Chains A and B, each alone.
Chain A
């Protein structure tokens, strides 16, 4: 195949993500117009605010790709966050490394429990994860009654400031907040090898057509459990980020569940499963956060803000559908 044809294909396959990036670019320009002194610092705080949402969206995206849904993501984030904060309170900086590993493992286990319950009991995913939403929330309250705990200094520093790379000019590196690097590394370490493995293919296969996947020799149950477990891992990363940014743990789940579903939908992951990736939802998170920032700059009533956010979502998804319809006449 000619390089030109394969380039066209890359553009066509990733059209949605490219479109989202363009939208983000436009929004950044709009922001600059509304607020002329918006710059690297503003972008940095945008990323920091978006971090927990980004991890929640990545977790949700994984589950949606296999054709499921996980309503317990925000609760898992709360549980892992309070666990980390409690364990780190009054302990040494080195011990915190152990805590991080332990909490990540905990996330894997929580997610695997979700997945295993769905696969073994055959109760619909939406019911199981709704039930687990309450279970994990209760567990979080058992760990910590009220917001409290602490976080290691080095952890907190991980998402503050920008990276200093010797070979990069200062003007560029101020635009690379540490939080963004953390996000890319944490998700990339899991996602990139996964995407290239047979397991990753199996995840898309199960979401796309479970019967055909079964007939192709895919172990459906195992694939689903792995997807939920990895979603748990990402949720634990989100929980850790929460503790990093606030320095404490809060047992009541934040607004991450619905936000994750919104980002997944806007990010081009079809709710039926089998389509999309992680980049789309994360760009979508940034877009949704930036819209909110802009509306704040414009001093618009916060109650109206949510109406506008909802409208944007419907409008963008509809527009995408129209574009897809145009390029694939049937």
Chain B
């Protein structure tokens, strides 16, 4: 049995100081299979990946490659044993051009270019600096570089997270075809749908232990969720129950935010929509349709080239994020490093937006500060064991801090840009819950999401942006994934009775 496994890890243990990152992890990969590695944030996935690729050394455990014991001490060594990893963050050196990056890793150029073309990037200038390439292309190049080496085991960490839908599809297709050559793929993802479509088996980690390996079959998702949560799965992907849909009521009032014919840069071209009090409005778009510009303008970090923004009926002009914050518009980015002071404590991170308010001079009221911060931490159930430095929290907890810092002060409008990217299911659900709660308490939330099922899980209504314009506006009931995908690709809505109901809710069509 052991002999026909391509990769086998058993009893892997890793401690960081007193904290056990892995207590008893195991993983076995057969030749020619796509194997999913799953687990909530902090379950030990990334530690296991780091051990497999030689970034860190395990305290105990055995790793066999083709039945032979291997001690891998560096990524270079892992590559020589046939294990290549594509990480979540792009691994190209930003200040070197693509050709130099290939030379650095001794990657053959011809197969690399062939893979790049196969992965859906038709033209690539080898002499462009990696710094100047868009994120999605960098991810593709990382993948192509790994494929060009023809590894026995390819480790993909959240490969599709930063890819637009069309490129992601191509990538998944290429990954699936790795099987035919007898090579294996270890696939790490939070997207269960992707996993059930692509993978043969899945190994689930919980609290540093392997709790089971599931063979993918219809119904396996439930099993996986159950293993991940450690308790019987209670309606894992059910919409928030206490949703309030009283758009009829709030439609009468002045909207919290009214955007008219907004333009910015080359991408955002004439966007109009309204965000009402007590509403969570979903925003769906393929990569690069102007959503970055829209959020940039709304959060005050870039200036529009045309159009107006009204907050509570009053026109506003933001010159600086401080202006937007004063108007009650606060921004939660997808990249947590963009929002947090990674080396400072949780407490300071939460308190900062309050005590750094433009109008606040003089000494900080420490007691009031502490109360506010404690309330926020309590409400969000942030795990504060490692609160000395935000960078030591898990990704999910960091994201909670980015939201908590605004809640602590009481906030009018939350602009969330893909806030759940790379976060485990449990934390995601907590965040949806929180957004609903905030909306119910009189805030308004604009939620850009790259995970389409989030629209029905968290939103009242969704707008779809395509080519810098709002192309659709539908209520959450009808905004299922097929409908959103059609709209996001600029296709007209399927003719049906439900569609009519949707337009009625979304009364503010683009002017």
A residues engaging B (CB < 8 A)?
Answer: 1, 6, 9, 198, 201-202, 204-205, 207-209, 211-219, 274-275, 328
Asked whether any CB of chain A lies closer than 8 Å to the CB of B117, the reply is: no
| B92 part of interface (Cβ distance < 8 Å) | yes
| Cβ B96 vs Cβ A204 within 8 A | yes
Assess whether B96 is in contact with A215, with CB atoms less than 8 Å apart: no
A208 touches B127 (CB 8 A): no
**Beta-carbon contact of B90 and A212 below 8 Å:** yes
The reply to whether A201 and B96 form a contact with Cβ atoms under 8 Å apart is yes
B87 touches A215 (CB 8 A): yes
Most buried by A among B55, B105, B132: B105
Contact, CB under 8 Å: A217 / B94? no
Out of A9, A207, A328, name the residue touching B95 (CB < 8 Å). A207
- What separation, in Å, do the CA atoms of A218 and B92 have in the docked complex? 12
Any chain A CB within 8 A of the CB of B103?
Answer: yes
Are B75 and A212 in contact, with the CB atoms below 8 A? no
Q: Which of B85, B93, B104 has the most CB of A within 10 A?
A: B93
Q: Which residues of the other chain, A, contact B94 by a CB distance below 8 angstroms?
A: 208-209, 212, 274
> B269 → chain A, closest Cβ, in Å?
17
B95 touches A275 (CB 8 A): yes
Cβ-closest chain B residue relative to A273: B95
A-contacting residues, B11-47, CB 8 Å: none
Question: What are 8 A-to-B residue pairs whose CB atoms are below 8 Å?
Answer: A6-B127, A214-B74, A216-B104, A217-B74, A217-B104, A218-B76, A219-B74, A274-B93
B92-A212 in contact (CB<8A): yes
B91 and A201 within 8 A (CB): no
Q: How far is the CB of A17 from chain B (nearest CB, A)?
A: 16
List of 4 A-B pairs having minimum Cβ-Cβ separation, nearest first: A217-B76, A208-B95, A274-B95, A205-B93
Contacts of B95 in A (CB 8 A): 204, 207-209, 274-275
Q: A198-B104, A202-B104, A205-B104 are in contact. Are A216 and B93 (CB under 8 A)?
A: yes
Chain B residues within 8 Å of A213, by CB: 93, 104
Is the CB of B226 closer than 8 A to any CB of chain A? no
Q: Which of A9, A212, A274, A275 contacts B91 (CB 8 A)?
A: A212
Say whether B100 faces chain A, with CB atoms less than 8 Å apart: yes
Residue numbers in A under 8 Å from B79 (CB-CB): 217
Q: Which residue in B90, B106, B127 is a CB contact (below 8 Å) of A9? A: B127
- Contact across chains for B101 and A216 when beta carbons are under 8 A apart: yes
List B residues at the A interface (Cβ < 8 Å): 55, 74-76, 79, 85, 87, 89-96, 100-101, 103-106, 125, 127, 132
CB proximity of A205 to chain B, nearest CB, Å: 4
| Contact in complex: B91, A215 (CB < 8 Å) | yes
B130: min CB distance to chain A, Å: 9
Could you tell me if B93 and A217 are in contact, using CB atoms closer than 8 angstroms?
Answer: no
Which chain A residues lie closer than 8 Å to B101 at the CB level? 216
Contacts of B92 in A (CB 8 A): 212
| With contact pairs A208-B93, A209-B93 given, residues A201 and B103 touching in the complex (Cβ less than 8 Å) | yes
- Give A224 Cβ to nearest chain B Cβ, in Å: 15
A202 surroundings in chain B (CB, below 8 A): 104
Q: CA–CA, A198 to B105, complex, Å?
A: 9
User: What residues of chain A lie closer than 8 Å to B105, measured between beta carbons?
Assistant: 216-217
Interface of B (DSSP majority class): loop
Q: Which residues of B contact A217 (CB under 8 A)?
A: 74-76, 79, 104-105
> In the complex, A275→B130 CA distance in Å?
13
Given contacts A217-B76, A217-B79, 20 further A-B contacts (CB under 8 A): A201-B96, A201-B100, A201-B104, A204-B95, A204-B96, A205-B104, A207-B95, A209-B94, A209-B95, A211-B89, A212-B90, A212-B92, A212-B93, A215-B87, A216-B75, A217-B74, A218-B104, A219-B76, A274-B94, A328-B132
The answer for the CA separation of A215 and B104 in the assembled complex, in Å, is 11
Main secondary structure of the interface of A (DSSP, over half): helix
Separation of A275 and B55 alpha carbons in the complex (Å) = 26
Q: How far is the CA of A198 from the CA of B103 in the complex (A)?
A: 7
User: Which chain B residues border A207 with CB–CB below 8 Å?
Assistant: 95
**Bound CA–CA A2/B106 (angstroms):** 26
Nearest CB in chain B: distance from A11 CB, A: 13
Which B residues lie within 8 Å of A198 (CB)?
A: 103-104, 106
Q: Are B103 and A205 in contact (CB under 8 A)?
A: no
Of A1, A9, A205, which one neighbours B96 at CB under 8 angstroms?
Answer: A205
> Cβ of A216 and Cβ of B127 under 8 Å apart?
no
Q: What is the minimal beta-carbon distance from A62 to any residue of chain B, in angstroms? A: 15
Q: Which residues of A contact B100 (CB under 8 A)?
A: 201, 204
Residue on B with the closest CB to A270? B95
List, in ascending order, chain B residues with CB within 8 A of A208's CB. 93-96
Least Cβ distance of B301 to chain A in Å?
Answer: 12
Which residues of chain A have C-beta atoms less than 8 A from B87's C-beta?
A: 215
Q: Which residues of B contact A328 (CB under 8 A)?
A: 132
Residues of chain A within 8 A (CB-CB) of B93 are 204-205, 208-209, 212-213, 216, 274
- Taken together as a complex, chains A and B put the C-alpha atoms of A201 and B96 apart, in Å, by 8
In whole angstroms, how far apart are the Cα atoms of A211 and B55 in the complex? 10
Q: Hey, which chain A residues are within 8 Å of B91, CB to CB? A: 212, 215-216
| Chain B residue contacts of A201, Cβ below 8 A | 96, 100, 103-104
Q: How far is the CA of A1 from the CA of B103 in the complex (A)?
A: 19
Q: How long is the Cα–Cα vector from A207 to B101 in the complex, in angstroms?
A: 14
Q: Which residues of the other chain, A, contact B127 by a CB distance below 8 angstroms?
A: 1, 6, 9
CB distance from B494 to the nearest CB of A (A): 38
Cα A274 to Cα B125 with chains together (Å): 21
The residue of chain B having its C-beta at the shortest distance from the C-beta of A210 within the complex is B93
Quote the shortest CB–CB distance from B225 to chain A (angstroms).
Answer: 31
Whole-angstrom distance between the alpha carbons of A215 and B96 in the complex? 15
CB distance from B330 to the nearest CB of A (A): 23
Closest to B145 in A: A216
Which chain B residues lie closer than 8 Å to A219 at the CB level? Answer: 74, 76
Give B147 Cβ to nearest chain A Cβ, in Å: 15
For B101, give the chain A residue with the smallest CB separation: A216
Whole-angstrom CA separation of A198 from B102 in the bound complex:
11
B128 nearest CB across to chain A (Å): 9
The residue of chain A having its C-beta at the shortest distance from the C-beta of B77 within the complex is A217
**B residues less than 8 Å from A1 (CB atoms):** 125, 127
With most chain B CB atoms within 10 A of its CB, the pick from A209, A214, A218 is A209
Residue of A nearest to B103 (CB): A201
- Residues on the A chain within 8 Å of B103, using CB: 198, 201
Chain B min CB distance to A9 (Å): 6
- Set of chain A residues within 8 Å of B90, measured between Cβ atoms: 212
| Chain A contacts for B96, CB-based, 8 A | 201, 204-205, 208
Within 8 Å CB of A214, what residues of B?
Answer: 55, 74-75
Task: Report the minimum CB–CB distance from A220 to chain B (whole Å).
Answer: 10
CA gap between A203 and B105 in the complex, in Å: 13
Contact partners of B85 in chain A: CB under 8 A: 215
CB neighbours (8 Å) of A209 from chain B are 93-95
Contacts of B76 in A (CB 8 A): 217-219
Residues of B within 8 A of A215 (CB): 55, 75, 85, 87, 91
A140 to chain B, nearest CB (A): 36
Expressed in whole angstroms, the Cα–Cα distance for A204 and B94 within the complex equals 10
Complex-state Cα separation, A1 to B104, whole angstroms: 22
- Chain A residue numbers with a CB within 8 Å of B125 are 1
Q: Which residues of B contact A274 (CB under 8 A)?
A: 93-95
Residue of B nearest to A207 (CB): B95
Give complex CA distance A204, B87 in Å.
Answer: 21
